[in-house]
Structure 1
């Protein structure tokens, strides 16, 4: 047990402060009289005498320039307690968390008296682990059976499909053969806006990078101080501007919804709102439900490690209590701390905006002038709200040195996860969808207008992306005006270029390399797995964080370009798409088509009568 307990290492001033000891040796200890090893990960918060400049400087190096500021009481399951030291202690399993705390406090006090250093300790019972016996709950068994059933359905469906055996369309909807063909098909749907697939791909990649940038802060790097200094370079805006990369998805949702709705209004004179809502639910719920079930009842059993209870088991316990909020798409209103699968807040926002979209589209379609004025006012109010709340509550959507966990959570709760604060780009998408549906195919801009548009949109894009890079420097001091301007206007500038590309490509006004790149047919495949990529990336990141047992050496490309992790995200997204997303979309199309045919038959009979 002593051997498995963490010791004071070399390189403390390089940030090598988090010591995980030997997890497997500790939980594997078995002695006489039933003595068993227990691994506890204690949290230590170091406070120094502020009148001592030498200690303040050492404290800054120990905590790697405070890339994040945290308190020992902050929840660490979503954002790491970067200012807290993690220290492993191996004890007999009969010891309580309080026993471990008292023992560690006694040991530390002998070395910290009259040093100007004060250490606060916290040991959570949840972070004390013993060797587990595999005892599956009924819910876990039922969930496993469900996944096996769906997998068997895909194989049986593929068998019937391949050998042309007559079968119900419900069964064939799960055919693995049919769904693989659909997934990798490069045939464009009718009315497809080609460049949107490339836009979605680019922002998906940037979002994966940004989320990975957050996950690495959980890892106990031996050269963590170097990592913080390295991430203070201007180009690391790519990881710090994570909030920007979700805005194009909201914008695209408004664009595609309006494009579809206006087309249906022209063709049928009505939207069929019930049909649209039902279609939306069948599109989102099965895949989301599969992920919630997996992360809640299966994932906790397939791994272990020093931080496993924090980043995996804790999430599962939250989901057991609050899963119903996710399926009502209201989970984004209950705060990041208590949200099941926090990264799915975007699904809630998008669904709520979709729910009110018929009102906005109908107003714009039936009363274009009034609709334009009303939507512009709503978009302006949304922008003002973002500015005001950010400034008045000292929030920040951009991750700077010294960002506190409390500030990040408050930013999410008071702005980022609220649909009222994301309406601006959604309404911009509505206007764009309306324009693309109404603009003549042969509409051509003058050369001056074309170059002016490209120039203005490019400047807006670069200003939104590169402009705030100074906020990522080590010596940056938080300014609420900077944060408020960024939160209010950066989403508009970031989305502007993508909208211009979509309009130019769809109307044939531009056939340059950029529009050709975004319109590449291969992006059709990435679009089909984009929902799966969005859902699976964080569980994979947290799985790896929970499994990490030792300090690693930070090298940017080796850490960020983790091929195993990238391949895992790609494969799990394909699996989730083939087992749940595509089959249930097939079912949706079949059931709604069957309902439509039934309605037509009823109309024909009534006319004959």
Structure 2
């Protein structure tokens, strides 16, 4: 019934424009004859007629008000009163218009076309293509400026009325009336795969292919109220399936026009090129080819090195040389043995460090997974807000503390091993080779991952958010790759941070290069050195406190979902969180712990039982309070106080450093008990060797997850944990491939070169002589039994 309204609206719109046009040309005779036939026969328009008339309607500029005025003329299930139509017909004969009938390259085909029934649902078109939808879509298509896009839009509308399968799929793939808006559902993704699979090339003429666009719709704010950090704000992501010829600008115009017919012009729409995706032939750049060439080159080396070692093992050839060691360093057999080996160096009692590293990395990956899950498409935005307010879930929110744990361990190990070397060499130690080879060991695998971001990352999948996330990451890496390999990207080009987690590598490297100054002072001046490092710790506590107090910053990185849709664009993350001067405290605490443990083992000092009880009690209290106190800042009743924020940002790092310091010291001196045994568990040793590579590749896993997600996720504690576990497994799997291919071979070469140019090697195997064994606290034997 309502579809017949379109023909009447054509006539009325033309009549309404009579006064304004005042021209002496008559309406296209073919159109007039066709309308007269309908008027005289008093019948309902079929879809073939509407396929042409809908084009004429938009050309004549039908207005919604005109349609409303004549809606009462429709009677008797689609049949129009003959007298009224006759009068309208007579009036239409004298109507003049300057708008010619639109030229259709395929209009003759439409006239001959037969209505194609849909097997699954014959009445589908008549049930979904309502007059209101058709008129709004027609007007929206007419507003498109690009000619090719507009013509394909007309073809889409005609295809709807003719029950064309591809047109119905294009309409079906777009998001319809939103569901759950009041529930916090802000992602309406339609059907991505159905849209991009559309390819209408059967009728000849114009070929229409599907293009999936995810528009950003922003609702107007009624008034400036108190900042609300929970929920998803006033933004809605809306999927629309359009012809591939349409640019982002045209899609923006189309969506804006549709919304103006439904909710008015109060909303703003944004569609960028990254928001649209269509299946196109794979394009390969010279950089892509170069990256593949590098990968193939390493693959060939790995293959021949593996064959070489296999030959040596099979024929029992045990002859070794520097050249042999260099070749075997690339062998998969050699590196797999090295990776899965559970052997540890027991000369210093630092076996627990491997367990701490492994567990810390597991929870860091879980924290990243939670962040991407919460900030991605979800059904209930408030579900995440409920989780973060629950004190028991605070361990998921303190991801920054676990990153600080790695900084602590990095400083601790460097200080402990360098002090031993200074003792052995009586202070005559050239640290430059150590710094250079450290850069060589870390950078190659890092560069491989960066190059992957710059080349093939956007090409490995597809999804509603794929272009938005992956192309953005690629652009950032193309802009700032040099800052990454110079390890200054936490201060330079922070708006274009390549790899959101790469800031840690810059912080660690910068502190690693200045750490020898503090370590040497601790070794050279037994009294001044500890005072110097203590003053440095105090300064490191004051700096973030002053910055936080002065700028009214958060006490730490707070994981509100709507603020981390793109973590790199988060103000606190890019301006304060990733800066080295905000991370000094835990690193200096690690240096101090390394020095204290060195003196304890050097003097073979034994702790009293009372001291152990006091130390464990203090450590547990500080660690627990530091971990769970962050939930206070997420509560609804909490009001921001810059003094509290300043106190927290500084003191919680000191408390965490003390807790970690005692844990490492207790385990190294045989006072770790069952916890020490757990952290020294041999199963954790292989995983600890993968922590660096896991940190590098975790961003790929997280980006891939959110980029390919087809439907919003229902957030519960179970779904978050289940997804986090899958992310952990995938991350360590990819880390294994990266480790065997790049990190482990480079590490092996570094050891060989260090033995040649910087003996004795500063590594996990540095201490093997009897004197070092004696210097270790004899209480460690209790831990080993």
1:318 to 476, 480, 488: 476
TM-score scaled to structure 2, two decimals?
0.69
Q: Which residue of 2 aligns with 1:472?
A: 634
| Partner-residue secondary structure (3-state), 1:259 | helix
Map Cα deviations across residues 370-401 of structure 1 (whole Å, 9 max, x no partner): 22222222221121111111122222224165
Matched, 1:238 2:238: no
Matched, 1:399 2:558: yes
Q: Which residue of 2 aligns with 1:416?
A: 577
Matched, 1:138 2:300: no
Matched, 1:491 2:660: no
Q: How far 1:304 sits from its partner (Å)?
A: 0.9
Q: How far 1:477 sits from its partner (Å)?
A: 3.6
Q: How far 1:486 sits from its partner (Å)?
A: 2.2
Cα pair 1:40 1:129 within 8 Å, conserved: yes
Number of equivalences: 573
Note closer, same or farther for the CA distance 1:169–1:511 as it changes in structure 2 (3 Å cut): closer
2:676 to 499, 515, 521: 515
1:172 to 306, 328, 331: 328
Q: Which residue of 2 aligns with 1:582?
A: 744
Map Cα deviations across residues 104-125 of structure 1 (whole Å, 9 max, x no partner): 2222233334xxx942221112
1:110 to 239, 252, 261: 261
Map Cα deviations across residues 401-444 of structure 1 (whole Å, 9 max, x no partner): 58846998332334322222211111111111112222136421
Q: How far 1:493 sits from its partner (Å)?
A: 1.5
Note closer, same or farther for the CA distance 1:402–1:591 as it changes in structure 2 (3 Å cut): closer
1:67 to 224, 227, 230: 230
| Partner-residue secondary structure (3-state), 2:490 | helix
Note closer, same or farther for the CA distance 1:479–1:596 as it changes in structure 2 (3 Å cut): closer
Moved more, 396-405 or 143-152: 396-405
Q: How far 1:502 sits from its partner (Å)?
A: 1.2
Moved more, 22-31 or 272-281: 22-31
Structure 2, unaligned runs of 5 or more? 1-169, 762-785
Map Cα deviations across residues 187-229 of structure 1 (whole Å, 9 max, x no partner): 1124351111122122212211211111002432223333433
Map Cα deviations across residues 257-307 of structure 1 (whole Å, 9 max, x no partner): 111111111112322212111221122101101111122212211111111
Q: Calculate the aligned-residue CA RMSD, in Å.
A: 2.6
1: CA distance between counterparts of 2:709 and 2:542? 43
Moved more, 498-507 or 557-566: 557-566
Q: Which residue of 2 aligns with 1:217?
A: 374
1: CA distance between counterparts of 2:244 and 2:729? 38
Note closer, same or farther for the CA distance 1:98–1:493 as it changes in structure 2 (3 Å cut): same
Matched, 1:40 2:213: yes
TM-score scaled to structure 1, two decimals?
0.88
Q: Which residue of 2 aligns with 1:339?
A: 497
Note closer, same or farther for the CA distance 1:101–1:478 as it changes in structure 2 (3 Å cut): farther
Structure 1, unaligned runs of 5 or more? 70-81, 600-609
Q: How far 1:321 sits from its partner (Å)?
A: 1.8
Matched, 1:259 2:432: no
| Partner-residue secondary structure (3-state), 1:549 | coil
Q: Which residue of 1 aligns with 2:301?
A: 153
1: CA distance between counterparts of 2:171 and 2:642? 49
Moved more, 41-50 or 256-265: 41-50
Matched, 1:548 2:696: no
Note closer, same or farther for the CA distance 1:140–1:544 as it changes in structure 2 (3 Å cut): same
2:608 to 423, 446, 452: 446
Matched, 1:26 2:195: yes
Note closer, same or farther for the CA distance 1:580–1:518 as it changes in structure 2 (3 Å cut): same
Note closer, same or farther for the CA distance 1:326–1:237 as it changes in structure 2 (3 Å cut): same
Q: Which residue of 1 aligns with 2:430?
A: 272
| Partner-residue secondary structure (3-state), 2:188 | coil
Higher relative CO (CA 8 A, sep ≥ 6), structure 1 or 2? Answer: 1
Note closer, same or farther for the CA distance 1:168–1:13 as it changes in structure 2 (3 Å cut): same
Cα pair 1:401 1:473 within 8 Å, conserved: no
Cα pair 1:383 1:488 within 8 Å, conserved: yes
1: CA distance between counterparts of 2:568 and 2:541? 20
2: CA distance between counterparts of 1:284 and 1:17? 41
Cα pair 1:330 1:348 within 8 Å, conserved: yes
Q: How far 1:42 sits from its partner (Å)?
A: 0.9
Q: Which residue of 2 aligns with 1:187?
A: 343
Cα pair 1:336 1:342 within 8 Å, conserved: no
Map Cα deviations across residues 137-169 of structure 1 (whole Å, 9 max, x no partner): 121122122222223322321221122167643
Within 5 Å, give how 1:287-298 maps onto structure 2.
287-298=445-456
2:594 to 421, 430, 433: 433
2: CA distance between counterparts of 1:477 and 1:206? 29
2: CA distance between counterparts of 1:247 and 1:564? 24
Q: How far 1:597 sits from its partner (Å)?
A: 7.9
Matched, 1:285 2:443: yes
1: CA distance between counterparts of 2:410 and 2:729? 27
Cα pair 1:305 1:546 within 8 Å, conserved: yes
| Partner-residue secondary structure (3-state), 2:268 | strand
Cα pair 2:230 2:382 within 8 Å, conserved: no
Q: Which residue of 1 aligns with 2:71?
A: none
Matched, 1:358 2:516: yes
2: CA distance between counterparts of 1:259 and 1:533? 25
2: CA distance between counterparts of 1:45 and 1:384? 41
Note closer, same or farther for the CA distance 1:181–1:289 as it changes in structure 2 (3 Å cut): same
Largest Rg, 1 or 2: 2
| Partner-residue secondary structure (3-state), 1:444 | coil
Matched, 1:594 2:756: yes
Q: Which residue of 1 aligns with 2:249?
A: 98
Q: Which residue of 1 aligns with 2:461?
A: 303
